[in-house]
Structure 1
Amino acid sequence: MNPRNRLFVLIAAGAAVVIAAAVVLTMTLNRPTEAPRPDPVAATVPVALKADGLPADFSIGVVMTFGQSGEPGTEYNRAAQGAVVAAQRFGQSGARVTLPTQNDQGTEDGARAAVATLAEQGVSGVLVASTGPQARAAAKAAEERGLPVILPYSEASEPTQTTWTTGPTAASVQAALGTALAGKSRVLLVSDGGQVPASVTPADTLTLEGFSDVSGLAQEAAIRTGDQLRPPSKDAPADAEGTRTANPADAVVVSAATPQRLAQLVRALQSRDVSVPLILPDGATTPAFASSLSELDGTASGQLVSIAPATGDAVALQQDAQGRGMSAFLAGIRLATGNPEIKNLTDDTPFSADAWAADARSHDAVVALVRAAALAGSNDPSKVGASLRTLSFGPGEGLAGPALDFSQSQALTAQPTPVYASSQDLGLRPADENAPRLVWVPAPASP
């Protein structure tokens, strides 16, 4: 090849390299943005849960306050049936979990006796489904016996190495309450024996003690929100008209000693056409409130606002790992409902009767204790507790609610947020015409 031809070849080769580089650069610059990587959880979380290494005779004791008529401590009895769903899900893969249940009689002594009985039965851990003094007494009794204990619905009297709370702290609830009241300048507190939230500075306060009944309290609240006129005084002229409050309240914080009394007060306020948001910081997300409000023909609407972590059915609508975990839990509820042989915790009623209320918090407490025992390969309570202290869980481990970190006594890692009532049937639980139509969603319900 002569020098001239060699030069042409070199020039052509160089041009080809330049063109190739330009094409690569163009493709790179015009490539679509890479989609976010999916969660490190399968696209579908299986209903059946495996627990390799779980001892054959593993059991978790449950402490409850028996009753459904408003006894203190019974607020979550139906919600606690989520524990049955967890046991059934493990059972589908051959890991048998039993849930012996004891009544704390609604007293501290009864709680201690219940824990003693469960310890004698050889449980490897305890789930305390009660609230109030008896729940704290049960947790303390379990600690003294070396039993790991989880409280989904109450806080322990003091943090310990064997006691965990999986619900929100009082401080986090107060912070979320501040979010719910953001922009409200004239808050009216209406109370029927409930605690006054520390983060609420009401412009006005009404308590039941100042009225003959709940109806009178609600009427005065409606006047102070500007939804009702104040009647003329007794000595006013016959043709005098009522007057409207000059600076009406723009939100009402409603507090009551029990969920049942809270429902009565909410219904009374609704009957007086109170139109401002009704903020319900405590007790509103319990099954007891939902059933009581339904019995009173109260309305579940976005006007009702409460505080809760992301443990409600609406989470299943999320396109993420937790949404899939919640969907699997709800599928477990449907399967358990379809089997009339599956009973509730007290073994006196089919699970299907409480399927509408079984919640993620009790379910996830059982999942955590089972996972800890399987890792330890033992049903020895001390080994189960030591194992649990090293673990954290998410939907990949079978949780339906937010992630839990048991290296700390307050295991819940997510913060509670304002949630809004809705009567919409999400179609995620078995149809039950007797169940109350109330779900809590993390955004205002559509009108």
Structure 2
Amino acid sequence: MSSHTRLTTLIVAGITVVLAAAIALTTLALSRPKEASRPDPVAATVPVALKAEGLPKDFSIGVVLTLGQSGEPGSEYNRAAQGAIVAAQRFAQGGAAVALSAQNDRGTEDGARAAVRALAEQGASGVIVATAGAQARAAAKTAEELGLPVILPYAEPSDPAQATWTTGPSGASVAAGLRTALDGKNRVLLVGDGGEVPASVGISQTLNLDGFDDVTGLAQEAAIQTGAQLRPPAEDAPAGAGSTRVAEPADAVVVSAATPQRLARLVQALQSRDVSVPVVIPDGATAPAFASTLAELDGAASGQLVSVAPAGGDATALQQDAQGRGMSAFLSAVRLASGDPKVQNLTGDAPFSADAWAADARSHDAVVALVRAAASAGSGEPSKVGAALRAMSFGPGDGLAGPELDFSRSAALTAEAIPVYASPQDLGLRPPDEAAPRLVWVPAPANP
């Protein structure tokens, strides 16, 4: 089969999948507030192939990753960052070559500095820091010192320079979204394992893992405090004493942990003790590592789980608006890239298809932004790319899959974080993968 015939077949198959998914998703019945109609300047469809006239030859973007298979902080975004591959493939289809070069920061600040320096020596026009924590901030600072424009999709830089941007939600936005998720809850229990929770959130009681022998003991006490379990009588209680229920049980649980993997362990433990109140997770739950770890532990992706994120997940492809069409085009590109065995992941050691279930819009949109800036500048010189990007903003019509981005400010994301709800529904918008976890975040819980 020729490459043209294969591409045509994949596109037809993709359209069929989308139509089937749209029919299936009528059962999901997401509750969305009605919005007033407004002009929509984006075409009825957003093309999969993206053009970038004026993009210089040999244009390259560096990507900093934290590699590891043991839950190293920052490594939770390795699979999400494969969205960068999707963007490069879309531009290739439109006739613009975009080279991606990845460097491992080894999970350390020194490693992050070395990774950025290596990318600068390779001639990268800009850098995407696809990790989090201290090493992400170190990478951003080094890029600033070297004059490289840098985008952080998953972290906030400290004291960002003019050519440093984050495209994730701000801490203030996450705190506001968390308060919305807990609206009406008066007795909030915090269950923690090294994570942080915004100070503005009212917490009535805190249970930390370091105060228990193991996660099972922590989950049992959380179940008692929420009324899901009775407290057994004390060892020195009088004969015949029965189990008791707490007088004022918690009406919600906030779960926080240092990594998504540890977060998933806490959530699964709470589920195993039948905790039935809303379990709200302010950070880490939307990372692919949370979904995969929860699935490995046989945890459930139910509407009881609530996280906080901007509305930019797969479910937005179902919306009849510009953002919906942008996300739909992105997911079509994910399917096309997954169907081509020649397309490799960022590190070139595995096919892209292995990570297609997790490739996200944030890393994709970071590539789109840097490419658009270089094309506008007509140069791959880092200072010119950064200067051009600083005067630009983008939306679905420019090829974004997620919310609009305004690079005239260091916090480029224009959308606010909102409560999102876990669902095991297979939307059918990504390539079939039996090994992929079944968890998607939707902006409203499904009706019972």
TM-score normalised by the chain length of structure 2: 0.91
* RMSD of equivalent CA atoms: 1.0
Deviations 1:122-159 (A, max 9, x none): 01000000110110010011111110000000000112
C-alpha distance after superposition, 1:46-92 (max 9, x if no partner): 00000000011100000011113201111111000000000000000
Amino acid at match of 1:48: A
Cα deviation 1:166-205 (Å, max 9, x = unaligned) = 0000111001100000000000111111113212221111
Provide the residue aligned with 2:86 in structure 1: 85
Moved over 4 A (4+): 35-38
* CA–CA separation in structure 2 for the residues paired with 1:70 and 1:106: 11
2:99 is aligned to 98
Q: What residue in structure 1 maps to residue 41 of structure 2?
A: 40
Query: Could you tell me whether the CA contact under 8 Å between 1:421 and 1:445 is conserved in 2?
Result: no
Q: 2:418 & 2:184 partners in 1: Cα distance?
A: 16
Within a 5 Å distance, the mapping from 1:111-130 to structure 2 comes to: 111-130=112-131
- The answer (yes or no) to whether the contact 1:301–1:445 under 8 Å persists in 2 is no
Task: Tell me, in whole angstroms, the C-alpha distance in 1 between the residues paired with 2:329 and 2:66.
Answer: 29
Quote the Cα distance in structure 2 between the aligned partners of 1:445 and 1:111: 42
SS for the counterpart of 1:235 is: coil
Deviation of 1:236 after TM superposition, in Å, equals 2.2
**Distance in 2, Cα, partners of 1:134 & 1:190:** 26
Structure 1 146/280 Cα, relative in aligned 2: closer, same or farther at 3 Å?
same
- Check whether the contact 2:197–2:282 (CA below 8 A) recurs between aligned residues: no
Looking at structure 2, the residues matched to 317 and 416 of structure 1 have their Cα atoms a distance apart, in angstroms, of: 19
State the match for 1:338 in structure 2: 339
Per the alignment, in what secondary structure is the counterpart of residue 100 of structure 1? strand
* In structure 1, distance between residues paired with 2:309 and 2:183: 17
User: Does structure 1 residue 236 correspond to structure 2 residue 237?
Assistant: yes
Letter in 2 for 1:240: A
Residue 160 of structure 1 deviates from its aligned partner by 1.1
| Structure 2 equivalent of residue 302 of structure 1 | 303
**What is the CA–CA distance in structure 2 between the aligned matches of 1:37 and 1:342, rounded to whole Å?**
39
Shift in CA distance, 37/174, structure 1 to aligned 2, threshold 3 Å: closer
Residue pair 2:193, 2:258 contacting (<8 A) in 1 also: yes
TM-score, with length taken from structure 1 = 0.91
Q: Distance in 2 between matches of 1:265 and 1:255?
A: 9
Counterparts of residues 152-163 of structure 1 (less than 5 Å): 152-163=153-164
Deviation at 1:37, TM superposition (A): 5.8
Report matched runs for 1:333-412 at 5 Å.
333-412=334-413
> Which residues in structure 2 correspond to 1:42-441 (within 5 Å)?
42-441=43-442
2:10 counterpart residue number: none
**Does the residue aligned with 2:307 lie in a helix, a strand or coil?**
strand
Structure of greater relative contact order (alpha carbons < 8 Å, 6+ residues apart): 2
User: How many residue pairs are counted as aligned between the two chains?
Assistant: 413
Residues 390-435 of structure 1 deviation map (CA, whole Å, 9 limit, x = unaligned): 1000000000000000000110011010000000001100010000
| Whole-Å separation in 1 of the counterparts to 2:406 and 2:188 | 36
Identity of aligned residues (%): 77
Opposite residue 265 of structure 1, the aligned amino acid is L
How far apart are 1:308 and its partner, in Å?
Answer: 0.4
Alignment partners' CA distance in 1, 2:37 and 2:213: 60
2:114 aligned counterpart, secondary structure: helix
Deviations 1:335-377 (A, max 9, x none): 0000010000000000000000000000000000000000001
For residues 20-63 of structure 1, the C-alpha deviation after alignment (integer angstroms, 9 at most, x for no partner) is xxxxxxxxxxxxxxx95651011010000000000111000000
